Amino acid sequence: MWHLFPQRRGFTLIELLVVIAIIAILIGLLLPAVQKVREAAARAKCQNNIKQIALACHAYADATSGIPAACIMSSFTESPYSNNIGPNWAILILPFIEQGNLYNQYATSINLHLAGSSTDARWKGIRGTSVATYLCPTDPFNQADYTEVSATKRLANVPNWKRGNYGANVGPFHTLSGHVNQAAPSGGSWWYVGRGPFTMVDGNNRRIGLGIQGIPDGSSNTILINELRAAMVPTDARGVWAFGLAASSLTVGNAMGDCTTPNDKNPRSDDMQDAVEDGANGLGSCSNCNNNQGQARSLHTGGVNAAMADGSVRFIRNEISQQAWWIIQGSHDGQTNID
């Protein structure tokens, strides 16, 4: 009767190992594809963020006849620890990215700065709120707050600021000082005008920036908003959305000297007091310099997202030439061909 109940045969060890090996190979093939899909989704979300920010600048310009100031100051400074620093562009456009309730909490103080020379400090309370539109999903470091270096070294004299990943383009020329609202600095690496569409506001100077249609090189040829990286350590002020100095919420001087092209890995590239010198990880900084130079940076593979002044979004490759990078940042250089 044995043939009526045949003995069942299990997997041999070799067969089991072959199956495991096949599964491991399939997983190995699948993971990079999953990672690419995730990065593509994160990059698309970042592009949507930066487009919404650019459109908010358009709406601000429609309401006020010009884009907002990069930063309002009672008197010009590049020291991050000064009381003179007031609200920046990212605060001023909040009502246009569906953050009117947040803006209104500090509107009285903001309006004092908009009206003229003021050191009213109440606007600084906004620093503790994270704004989703200002966060790139690819950057994990934007979840950690900036914390001061010491009790005597606090951004605008207050601690604990939330992070962000987008910067107003003040222009490719170094530095901010001596060139406040000027159309033509004395020269540069390419001998082009180094001004960007955003300008600094000092004391009682005009509170409104260029109109979108008034950008001399054309809105489709000029970057309005760049990406920024949040610092990898809490005492480094890169990527602080409500703070209006270089590499926190501004890009400036990012096509000359040791600050050359997107995501450059040059030592001492950014100029920021007390920032960490980490050129190997794309965050080089002159830590004993004033805050007057900041590069466009991201953790996307191969480049950065940038919003043009016409509201379109481009992905700028790291391989762009330094001269082309200057031209696309400059709003008054007279150059429109970036090929």
Provide the terminal-to-terminal Cα distance of the chain, rounded to the nearest Å: 85
pLDDT at 173: 83
Q: Provide the pLDDT for residue 189.
A: 64
Confidence (pLDDT) at 35: 66
**What is the pLDDT at residue 256?**
87
> How many CA atoms lie less than 13 Å away from 120 in the CB half-sphere?
16
Q: Could you give the maximum distance between any two Cα atoms of the chain, in Å?
A: 106
**Which run of H or E residues covers position 317?**
strand 313-317
Of how many residues is the chain composed?
A: 339
Residue 300 corresponds to which tokens in the numbers above? 């996307």
Amino acid 186: pLDDT? 58
What's the pLDDT score for residue 125? Answer: 98
* pLDDT on residue 178: 60
Instruction: Give the Cα-Cα-Cα angle 143, 289, 261 (nearest 5 degrees).
Output: 65
Binned average pLDDT, 10 residues per bin, the chain of 339 residues: 54 76 80 68 94 98 95 93 96 98 98 92 98 97 96 94 98 71 61 88 84 93 97 97 97 92 97 96 95 96 97 97 94 76
pLDDT on residue 29: 75
CA 282 to chain centre: 14
Q: Which residue shows structure tokens 């050359």?
A: 260
Instruction: Supply the pTM of this predicted model.
Output: 0.88
DSSP state of 48: H
**pLDDT for the residue 337:** 62
Q: Would you state the pLDDT for residue 328?
A: 95
**Closest of 52, 78, 89 to residue 178, by C-alpha:** 78
Nearest Cα to 168, choosing from 110, 209, 121? 209
Sort 10 into a burial class: Cβ within 10 Å, 0-12 / 13-18 / 19+.
exposed
Pairing of β 166-171 and β 250-252: parallel
